[in-house]
Amino acid sequence: MLGKLIYDNLQKYSFPYPIDKKICAGWAKDLPSKGETILYTSCMYQTASLSEVYSKFIPYAEKLSSLSFLGRFIKPSKDEIERAYRILNKIAQLLKRNGLNFAYLYEEEPYSGAILLELGYLDEFGQYAKSVYNFFKNKGIKRIITVDPHTHNALSRYNEFVEHFDLEIVSYLELVKDVKGVNKEENFVIHDSCLYSRFLNLRDAYRDLIRKAGIKIVEDELITGIDTSFCCGSPIKPINPDLSDKIAKARVEQLSKLSKNIIVVCPMCYANLSKYGNVKDWIEVVE
């Protein structure tokens, strides 16, 4: 039932739940809307803070035929959306500074389908992947620059469901080469995205950038090692919010043994961990 509800919402709203697409697109003002290369946000940074709110309605999914009524009442706070916009604008500026040209789809941008994949609804994910792929192809898009691990992972899995998949999927982390640190006096510890670190082979990409920026990173194999660090707890939130919060709290306590300054590279990690410690996206500590 949950998979069908999410899939139906994706068909109606191009998002797992009702959202004003102006919120998703409000950060971009002067980017072209057409081009073979696009910057693709999947509205993840813009709405990550809402995951906790919507997860509370999951237990009632079987009784709800629609979540449309929620869209009128639930939206990110002013501070949350302004922060997301600053991050996305800085990503765009860094890409431009590194010689990249790209377009943005504004309110036409569809969601990646990541939640279906991560909750194990593979049939629904496959159907949705085909529709999004066809949308991109009809727009003449050939290259997609992602900005978060969940979106990158989802698009990277499209080729399992779409015959002759021919879109280039690249993370902005692979394209940015030139960054400077804005805080070089304090030590930081990195909470790794499980997807970036263990499955997408991008662990070194952001570590190298952070080090090049002159930011001091504290490492401990038992806490930040590729095989020993653990999740922020966010992926399980739709199923078990209490367990998700316990994992987040334990992870922050663990990381804080190395530094009170925690860097993340994922909007979902930020949303789940920032309740318990001093957490910043890596983009917020570079320029």
251 in the same domain as 225? yes
Task: Tell me if 254 is assigned to some domain.
Answer: yes
End-of-domain residue from the set 146, 174, 202: 174
223 in the same domain as 143? no
168 in the same domain as 32? yes
pLDDT tens figures, 31-73: 999 999 999 999 999 999 987 777 766 666 556 555 555 655 5
Host domain of residue 196: 187-285
pLDDT tens figures, 118-145: 989 999 999 999 999 999 999 999 999 9
Chain CA centroid to CA 263, Å: 15
Q: Which of 227, 269, 3 is nearest to 118 (CA)?
A: 3
Task: Tell me if 179 is assigned to some domain.
Answer: no
Buried b (16+ CB within 10 A) or exposed e, 68-102: eebbeebbbeeebbebbbebbebbbebbeeeeeeb
Phi-psi region of 168 (alpha: psi -120 to 50; beta: other; left: phi over 0): beta
pLDDT of residue 61: 59
160 in the same domain as 66? yes
Here the tokens at position 43 are: 């509205």
Whole-number percent of the chain with pLDDT over 90: 77
Its pTM stands at: 0.94
pLDDT of residue 181: 86
128 in the same domain as 6? yes
In CATH, what number is assigned to the domain containing residue 207? 3.40.50
Number of domains present in the structure of the chain: 2
Task: Tell me if 260 is assigned to some domain.
Answer: yes
pLDDT of residue 281: 98
165 in the same domain as 74? yes
pLDDT of residue 12: 82
pLDDT of residue 46: 97
**Per-residue confidence band for 225, with pLDDT thresholds at 50, 70 and 90:** very high
